[in-house]
Structure formats: structure tokens, C-alpha cells
A and B are shown apart, each in its own frame.
Chain A
Amino acid sequence: MSLNADLLLLLVIGIDLFIGSTGRLGARIRACALQGLVLAALPLAIQGTGVLTGGERVLHTVLAVLATLLLKAVAIPYFLMRAMRQSGVQREAEPEHSLHLSLLLCAVLVGLSFWISAVMLPPPEAGSSPLGVPAGLATLLVGLYLTVGGRTELTQVIGYLVLENGVFVIGQRVLGEFPLVVELGVLLDVLVAVMLMAVLVAFGHRQDPSAAGNGAATPVGGAR
């Protein structure tokens, strides 16, 4: 395939940084969808060294691409968007630190992951992109930071999703080819988690209207 794996992985890192630097939930969710799209394209760019050959391999790749595309780029962002609209939360409520700091922190995490993969991990096999492990690790760390640092349920879910994307990238790079079962397992994991969270958010909204006021729309001194 003529897709450039390096470029796709750079795009993954760029999306991490963007998510870390924007406060608007809508932009974050759209960026997540884009990241899902990039991840879906990733198997096409990898010359796998797995056991599957010929028709089986093609079928496997097509299935993996379609499943990733459907779940990570369409279904999950759709549910997140719906949850966002229902909860009325539009942007990260009074972030604990400024977005500058958040962006710099993400940059430090990206640097850390490059350092870790250069110093502590074995060098990549010949033929695979040298960016794979650093990009995956960076995505994982940024996702972890967003999950831990998020103040609303939605930002935490988005962070968790980014984290799972990182696991996906690393898995694909380390194993060369995901066994289909593992792949589906990871995808379903995410889907279930996100849907549960979405339901929770919506439920909380219906139960207690003031709980929806985590957003910037709340008047100062309102909900909490």
C-alpha cells in the first residue's frame, strides 16, 4: 500500500496535542473521530509480518479497517456528541490549569515517550516505522493525563478513548498484526465503556438538572 505510516503516526501525535490544547468538547470529540479514522488507515500502511497470508490476510485487514472505522471514527464520536448535547456541557469547566500549561504538559509527555522508546525499549524491527512505539506511547500518556485531569465525565471519557487509541497503536506495532479476537475485544471494550458513560451522563442530567451545570454555561456560584 502506498500509505505512509510515518505520516499517519505523526498525525496521531498531532491530534493528541490538539486535544490537549483545546478546551471545547466538540472540537475534542471531532479530533477523536479523526484519530479513529487515522487508526483505521494504519493497518493499510503496515507491511505485516504475521502468520496470515494471501486471501486470509486481505480479509483480515479489510475487516480490521472496517471495524475500526465504524467504531472509533463513527459510532463512539456519535455517542459522545449526543451525550455532550444532552448534558449541555460545551467546554471544559474552569480547567484547573491554563490550556497553555496543558499543551506544554502534553508536549512533555510526547517528549518523554520518545525518550522512553529510544532509551529503554529495543529498537524497532527493520521495515516498521520508527515512530510507531513513540506515537502509541505518547497517545497513551496524553490519554492518561486527560482522563486523570478531566473534570467532567465527558472529558474523562474522551481521555479514556485517547488512551485506548494509544493501546491500539502500540499493540499494532508490537504484534505486527493484531489477532482478530484481541482486536475486537479492545474495540468492544471501548464501545461498552463509552456507551455506559454516555448513559451515565445522560442519566445524571435527567436526575439532577443542576448536575448538568458543570459546563461553562453555569452562572458563577451556581451548581457547586
Chain B
Amino acid sequence: MVDGLVHVALLILMPLPMLGLINRVKSIAAGRKGPPILQPVYDVVKLLQKGAVYSRTTTWLFVAGPIVALASSLLAALIVPLASTTSPFGFPADVFVFAYLLGVGRFFTMTAALDTGSAFEGMGASREAAYAALAEPALFLALMIVCIPAHSASFSDAFASIPAAGGLLRHPGLLLATLSLGVVLLAEASRIPVDDPNTHLELTMIHEVMVLDHGGPDFAFIQIGYALKFFVLGAVLVHLVLPIPASGWMAPVLFVAGQAGVAITVGIIESFMARLRLTRVPQFLIGACVVAAVGVLVLFTGGRP
């Protein structure tokens, strides 16, 4: 019961401030003071109080997009264990459901973008589809690295089977899984070097261009869903890197610290790296797939824990 409450509290309170933390890290690196860490929360509250405008060319798909995106991210966040090795809402084979929940959200975001009939949004949707198709194998291969030793396709079993001592060198595949999942996180959450969340030039952006026509509460839903997506992928990363205990007060503390670490790392990457050229992004994602594939191979050569 308490575990469930902690889980829900974390997934309500953390995602948006994490985005604020990234922006704060970026502003410090650039020598600015930067917006408050809670700025994304203020933005969402402001958006929720507004009304929405719908174009006459759009259909129910356009309205459904943000809602489904938010709902699927929320479900995914319920499945992944947060401040414990087991999730109160986990079930056998939830790894697959997790990956496809992200897929469903992406599909509806893309459909909503296409529904507007805008050429720019169609371009964004096409890019999103192309990169997601490359990021998904990397995600699956990286999750395989933790799932195969556990002989189970559920997050709870997989995370519980990661040995606690020894950091990232607990077994050699783990390091590769972390690297590859890190790239997936950057791609799925549309961060630099795959996409730039701050750009407002339609020709170069991917995620932002798909949601150009959404306003008011719809846009707020998209923002929350996006933050949640970043949050859940970050949670998986944290579990790979840090030995989160199964219970006790240390677990939430370690988890929050780990997530802050993820946000700060992403912020540092964004401060010191430029966005990759669009034609170079597939190379980056294929690289992540290959790294994860090597990790899976390593498992079968006796590198097994």
C-alpha cells in the first residue's frame, strides 16, 4: 500500500520538475540564471486554464492524440518499478506492454499531427516514425540484456536479478545496456543530439513540429505526457546504474537522486553538444542498436552473472 502511494506520488511530482532541472543546468552552463525549476509546472497550469482552438480540417483523431499520449505514458509509468525493485502495478511480461505503450502514444501523436493536414506536421511525423523505428530495436535489445539473466520479461524480476554490488561493472552487458538506453532516452524524449526541444524552426524539429497546432489543455496534456515519457525511461536507466533496494527509506532517496542525475547528465549533454544533422541521426541510433546487440552477445559467452 505504502509502496503504491510512494510510486504514484513520485510519478505525479517528479516528471515536470525534472524538465525544469534540465533547463536550469543548461542555463547555469550558459552563465545565465535561468527559469525556476518549477517553471514547467507553472506553464502546464497556465495551459490548463486556457481554451482550445480546433481547425475545421481536424477530426476526432486530433483531439484523441494528446489524451492517448498522456494515458499511455501514465500507464507506462505505472508499470515500471520506481523506488523499489518491484512495481505495485507490474505483471508478467510487462516489458513488452511498456514498449508498446510508448509506441501507442507515439502513433496517436503522429496521427494527430497528420490529421491537421499541415505539411510541416506531416514532415515531423515522418521523421518521428523513422527514428522511432530505429530506437525501438535498441530499446528491446537493451531490455533483453537485463531480462535474459532473469529468465523473465517483467521489470520486477529483471531489476531484482541485477546484482547489487559492483556498480556498472556488475556484469559487462549492463554497461552496454546503459549506454544504449541512454541513447534511446535522448531519442524518445526528443533531446539533443537527436532533436532540440527549444528549436522553433519547423524545418529542423521533430517532436515540437508535430504538436504545433495543439493549444491550451491539449498542449498541457502533451507536455505532461512528454515529461512522463522522459521520467519512465530515466527510471529504467536509474535501475540499471544504481542498486535501488527493494524497500526501505533508502529506495526513494536513491531513486530521486538517480533521476536528478539523469536530468543533470542530459542537461550537460545539451549544453556541450550540438544537435546532429538529420542525416546523421540514424547512424547514432543504429550505433545504439549495435551496442545493445553486442551486450546481448556478451551474455551468451559466459559473461552471465
Q: Which residues of A contact B (CB under 8 A)?
A: 4, 6-7, 10, 13-14, 17, 21, 99-100, 103-104, 106-107, 110-111, 114, 117-118, 123-124, 130-131, 134
Q: Which residues of B contact A (CB under 8 A)?
A: 169, 172, 175-176, 282-283, 286-287, 290-291, 293-294, 297-298, 300-303
Cα-based distance from A117 to B287 in the complex (angstroms): 23
Given contact pairs A10-B175, A10-B176, A131 touches B298 in the complex (Cβ within 8 A) = yes
Cα-based distance from A62 to B298 in the complex (angstroms): 30
B283 near A21 (CB under 8 angstroms)?
Answer: yes
B172 near A131 (CB under 8 angstroms)?
Answer: yes
Query: Which residue of chain B has its CB nearest to the CB of A114?
Result: B297
Secondary structure of the B contact surface, majority rule: helix
| B residues less than 8 Å from A124 (CB atoms) | 302
Cα-based distance from A16 to B302 in the complex (angstroms): 22
| Contact pick for B290, options A4, A6, A104, CB 8 Å | A104
Cα-based distance from A130 to B300 in the complex (angstroms): 10
Given contact pairs A110-B297, A131-B303, A100 touches B286 in the complex (Cβ within 8 A) = yes
| A residues less than 8 Å from B176 (CB atoms) | 10
Given contact pairs A4-B169, A10-B176, A107-B290, A100 touches B283 in the complex (Cβ within 8 A) = yes
Cα-based distance from A100 to B290 in the complex (angstroms): 11
| A residues less than 8 Å from B300 (CB atoms) | 114, 118
Cα-based distance from A99 to B282 in the complex (angstroms): 10
Cα-based distance from A124 to B303 in the complex (angstroms): 12
B302 near A110 (CB under 8 angstroms)?
Answer: no
| B residues less than 8 Å from A111 (CB atoms) | 293, 297
State the Cβ distance, B125 to closest chain A Cβ, in Å: 22
| Contact pick for B301, options A14, A17, A107, A134, CB 8 Å | A134
Query: Which residue of chain B has its CB nearest to the CB of A6?
Result: B172
B169 near A7 (CB under 8 angstroms)?
Answer: yes
Query: Which residue of chain B has its CB nearest to the CB of A104?
Result: B286
Known pairs A107-B294, A130-B301 / 9 extra A-B pairs, C-beta < 8 Å: A17-B287, A21-B283, A100-B283, A107-B290, A111-B297, A118-B301, A130-B302, A134-B297, A134-B301
Given contact pairs A4-B169, A124-B302, A131-B303, A13 touches B286 in the complex (Cβ within 8 A) = no
State the Cβ distance, A114 to closest chain B Cβ, in Å: 4
| A residues less than 8 Å from B286 (CB atoms) | 100, 103-104
| A residues less than 8 Å from B172 (CB atoms) | 6-7, 10, 131
Query: Which residue of chain A has its CB nearest to the CB of B297?
Result: A114
Cα-based distance from A17 to B286 in the complex (angstroms): 11
| A residues less than 8 Å from B303 (CB atoms) | 6, 130-131
Cα-based distance from A19 to B279 in the complex (angstroms): 19
| A residues less than 8 Å from B301 (CB atoms) | 114, 117-118, 130-131, 134
Query: Which residue of chain A has its CB nearest to the CB of B173?
Result: A10
State the Cβ distance, A123 to closest chain B Cβ, in Å: 8
29 contacts between A and B (CB under 8 A): A4-B169, A6-B172, A6-B303, A7-B172, A10-B172, A10-B294, A17-B291, A17-B294, A21-B283, A21-B287, A99-B283, A103-B283, A103-B286, A104-B286, A104-B290, A106-B290, A107-B290, A107-B293, A110-B294, A110-B297, A111-B293, A111-B297, A114-B297, A117-B301, A123-B302, A124-B302, A130-B302, A131-B298, A131-B303
| B residues less than 8 Å from A4 (CB atoms) | 169
B294 near A100 (CB under 8 angstroms)?
Answer: no
Cα-based distance from A111 to B291 in the complex (angstroms): 11
A14 near B283 (CB under 8 angstroms)?
Answer: no
State the Cβ distance, A135 to closest chain B Cβ, in Å: 10
Cα-based distance from A48 to B298 in the complex (angstroms): 23
| B residues less than 8 Å from A107 (CB atoms) | 290, 293-294
